[in-house]
Homo-oligomer: A and B are copies of this chain.
Amino acid sequence: MAVYTDVSDEALAQFLTLYDIGTLVSCKGIAEGVENSNYLLGTDQGNFILTLYEKRVDTDDLPFFLGLMDHLAAKDLACPVPIHDRSGKALNTLEGRPAAIISFLNGMWAKNPHTEQCIMVGAALAEFHDKGEDFTIRRANALNQPAWKPLFAQSATRADEVQIGLRSAIETELDYLAANWPQNLPGGVIHADLFPDNVFFLGGTFSGMIDFYFACNDMLAYDLAICLNAWCFEKDNAFNITKGRALIEGYQSVRPLSADELAALPVLARGAAMRFFLTRLHDWIRVPPGALVVPKNPLEYVKKLRFHQQVETASAYGIDL
């Protein structure tokens, strides 16, 4: 939940004169998103999202994020689209922060995703990959495999506070990943954060995906591995093979995986679990005592990692090889 920057009436009124979105009738801070401040604007033309980009977002990346949304929406991917101002700009400044107005996407995210939703999100991810193929701006993945060892080094000495033996187990796994990370799989623009809260459904069908602020260039199958972790484990951290099969078959209904991609899926899933474990560990051990906002538990991703360590082939994810 997040509203970091307060917006004054005067500043908002001035900002909105830049746009042709009608007369403002309401403005409410939204308790969603952890990186930016988000407001729901109501005007006589409908609802819009106002996003102020906070310090954790690199301003240089904004043309990539906003341009990607424009690119995907132009190809009819269901996603929000930046509203361009009267002069054609998608990015302006409000209360000293970079700010954009984004179209409002109807739908709700699935708090307990079911199998049919896993099929739909798989297909939507593949559609995202296909439609992002000719997007020309590039953005390196700041959280790619080579970044994991230095990231863990910032927290390693305190890892055993979370679980005895964790430091050693993670260091062993980081060595394994460095030695076995795939190098020549098909790449492109990946969403990199397509968790259930970033996917909307409406009336039983996929209505769109949001939050492109981790998008970057990396291996496409790695994005599927992120979704495998985010969508196909139950609350008790048990893998649901039915959902795994649904996700992968949904993906392949749009973009079939190569034999190399299928073979790499177990190591990609281990890497994806590592990546989210590492950022959660980083935030977990840095939370101020007594903080009202509790960060996500990193052990959830240790349990997912341990599942993937037992996996020999993608057949464990429900795929007939």
Contact = CB atoms under 8 A, between A and B. Distances in A.
Interface of A: 1-3, 6, 8-10, 23-32, 40, 42, 47, 104, 106-108, 110-112, 202-203, 288-293
Given A1-B3, A23-B203, A28-B31, 13 more contacts: A8-B111, A9-B111, A9-B112, A24-B108, A26-B47, A26-B106, A28-B32, A28-B40, A29-B32, A40-B40, A289-B289, A289-B290, A293-B293
Contact of A31 (B3, B23, B111, B289): B3
13 contacts: A1-B1, A1-B3, A26-B47, A28-B32, A29-B32, A31-B31, A40-B40, A288-B289, A288-B290, A289-B290, A291-B292, A292-B292, A292-B293
Contacts of A40: 28, 30, 40
B289 A110 contact: no
Copies of this protein in the complex = 2
Contacts of A28: 30-32, 40
A243 B29 CA distance: 28
A210 to B, nearest CB: 11
A203 B43 CA distance: 12
